[in-house]
Amino acid sequence: MTRKFFGTDGIRGRTNEAPMTAEMAQRVGQAAGAHFLRGDHRHRVVIGKDTRLSGYMMESAMISGFTSVGMDVVMVGPVPTPAVAMLARSMRADLGVMISASHNPYIDNGIKLFGPDGYKLSDEDELEIEALIERGPKLVPPAEIGRARKIEDARGRYIHFAKSTFPEEHSLDGMKIVVDCANGAAYQVAPSALWELGAEVVSIGVSPNGLNINEGCGSTAPQALQQRVVEEGADIGIALDGDADRLIVVDEKGKVVDGDQLMALIALSWARRGLLRGGAVVATVMSNLGLERHLEANGVGLVRAKVGDRYVLEEMRRGGYNVGGEQSGHIILTDHATTGDGLVAALQVLAELVETGKPASELLHQFDPLPQLLKNVRFGGGQPLENIGVKDAIADAEAQLAGKGRLVIRKSGTEPLIRVMAEGEDPALVEQMVDQICEAVKAA
């Protein structure tokens, strides 16, 4: 059954346009609250948000929705997405909510839901919530309306948790780190955690005004971080996205390091120490073939999942793996967290820098990626991938790349885009195949 409101990462869209309106936020609160009213205990939801201007509106609407069906609300303010997952578990809540559109600009917002175990909801849960959204849940009598309160130490709790994932025998003394928080949810917690571990911290993207989240900064725009790392003579740069569940790193020479390289580093480090479970890493179909070859050469497998960190996590839980993620920087380490956590992943990278004493440019270059090209084609409606011309272009490309590369064409789960990716040993052929398919999609 197709979901109507939920995409690959919750509900997301342009604020004040369907489905991302205050009315919808209230209905989601009512539906999700009613869905998780199980048992006779006092029910509780933890709500966090990033720094978007619309976060206040969405938060207020969701509070009214949850309380109207009898659920108490705990507001934790601007915190990273993984902090909401962690706090929902530690506070024995029935549900966790993060109001964020992740790496999207401020004009967008979104709603991510976590169950009492701290994991994102299953497709089945989301379908049941969608049904409740459409038919409307039962509201409680006045005496049973929920209460709302704010806790002030949520950020401190998360900082303490993040630091606990860094090896006790190490510190960051003597290390200079530039951290870019994307003017988003980690603007306070990430610099504080690094400083408390002993680092000299240079912070950028830490002046949110409601409109500048992800604007020319963060993991999707690392140019400012690259420049600052070189100017400061820093050992490494760390870039998070708006809700801090994504990590991109910059080495001391200003070169960007993506999630594939970081997964290779963490997985092989854990394998050497006997910590890697399942003998493999879970990545998506978008991860570079070079990662797969490098891991296999070192005795570690690669399991591929559909695009989306939720699908990576599902595969990790199914196979008992503890390292997984996406090339874009969502890195999931289930020994520590139930969702992607940019700061926790960064601390694993920093621990390896301290342990080896190697410069970041040497340590983080784990393998030579194969030439890979990704292009997006926006479409206005319909099913362009069902068009015969598009199917023929894809079949032709697959035939030409057979044995020499990979082709991945998919519809985005969050935007009206067709994503066309090819990789192979011949960069000219890769570009030709991508352009050929993109033109077919445009024509369709």
| Residues tagged active-site | 102
CA distance 6 to 120: 12
> H or E element: which one contains 366?
none
Residue given tokens 């044995």 in the structure block: 403
Nearest to residue 87, comparing CAs of 32, 163, 154? Answer: 154
Angle between helix 54-68 and helix 22-35 axes, rounded to 10 deg: 40
E runs forming strands in 330-404: 331-333, 372-378
Give exposure, 293-313, as e/b (b: 16+ Cβ within 10 Å): ebbeeeebebbbbebbbbbbb
What is the SS3 assignment for 249-275? EEECCCCEECHHHHHHHHHHHHHHCCC
Give exposure, 242-280, as e/b (b: 16+ Cβ within 10 Å): bbbbbbbbbbbebbbbbbbbbbbbbbbbbbeeeebbbeb
CB contact at 8 A, 350 and 175: yes
